[in-house]
Amino acid sequence: MTLLGKIFTGLILVMSVMFMSFAIVVYATHVNWKERVKDPTNGLEVTLRNVQDKVAQLQLEIEQSKNTLAAEQAARRAVLASLRTKLDEINKELVDKVREYDTLLATKANLSQTLETNSQTLLALQGEVATIRKSIIDTIDSRNTVFEEFVALTDTKNRLEGARDILSERHDALLADVTKAQGHLARFGVRLGDDLPTDAPQRKGFVTKVGSGRLIEISLGDDDGMRTGHELYVYRGATFLGKAVIRETSADFAVAEIVQEVNKSVLIRKGDRVSTKLG
């Protein structure tokens, strides 16, 4: 029941009490009012108290209805405020959508222009594709020709590789021979690429140092015309001691190796004479 219905109910109750009061006044002229009022079971006092209690209850219900109405009104105001907020948001969103629509229209115009440009570009590209297709066909023909030449060159390459393998084997064999020759020449202090020793000029010197093994140092060097491989004769006084071969030279001295000794019990020592010629 709404508040308005409750108010009408209260009014009806009040009017009913008023009509009942008029009826009591009319009835009082014919009824023993004292007995009627004081009757403990059905007297007017009892009825009045009952009516007053009912009126109090109705007033309480009216107050409760007012409180309920106030709460409903507050809730409705809150809902209304929320709806207004949503309406503002919707209006803002509508404005954004309108702007977006305008942007889309502008984009559509740009896309239309771009489509027109792309269409023209496509026509130009189609012409280029036709030209490229013809170029590809010509290239394929040229490639076939090149492939035939490649096959011929491959055959030539295979023949040359066979010849290369043969030459490689010969190279390895020659390299082994050269290595062996280098070993033999090294025994005489000669390296590949060195000029073969010529006859030593006639020079005389002396032993300046006796090294370990069979090596000696002499006072003759490059400045004296000494070269690797030159032979020297060693003697002491008039006694011939042996023969040496120069292994390494410097500007003013050389290192020689004793290759022949006349008397092994007589050791060559510092101060012995050396000469490139006997006598």
Structure tokens at 137: 């066909």
Distance CA(35)–CA(91), nearest Å, equals: 77
Q: Which CATH number fits domain 204-275: 2.40.10.340, 3.20.20.80, 3.30.590.10, 3.40.47.10?
A: 2.40.10.340
Contact between residue 2 and residue 54 where contact means Cβ atoms under 8 Å apart: no
**HSE-up (13 A, CA, CB side) for residue 228:** 16
CA distances from 258 to 145, 217, 251, 279 (A): 73, 11, 21, 19
Contacts of 58 by beta carbon, 8 Å cutoff, 6+ apart = 9, 10, 13
Rg (CA), the chain: 70
How high is the mean pLDDT of the chain?
83
Beta strand ranges found along 174-252 (DSSP E): 204-210, 215-218, 231-236, 239-249
The model's pTM: 0.33
The secondary element (H helix, E strand) that includes residue 28 is helix 3-28
Angle at 162 between CA 156 and CA 167, to 5 degrees: 120
Convert the pLDDT of each residue in 82-136 to its tens digit.
Answer: 899 999 999 988 999 899 998 998 988 888 888 888 888 988 898 888 889 888 8
Q: Where are the domains of the chain?
A: 1-140, 204-275
Each of the 279 residues of the chain gets a pLDDT tens digit; together they read 577 777 878 888 888 888 888 777 776 665 555 666 666 776 667 777 788 888 888 888 888 888 888 888 898 899 998 899 999 999 988 999 899 998 998 988 888 888 888 888 988 898 888 889 888 888 888 888 888 888 888 888 888 888 888 888 878 888 787 777 666 555 544 455 555 455 788 999 999 999 888 899 999 999 999 999 999 999 998 889 999 999 999 999 999 999 988 887 888 999 999 999 876
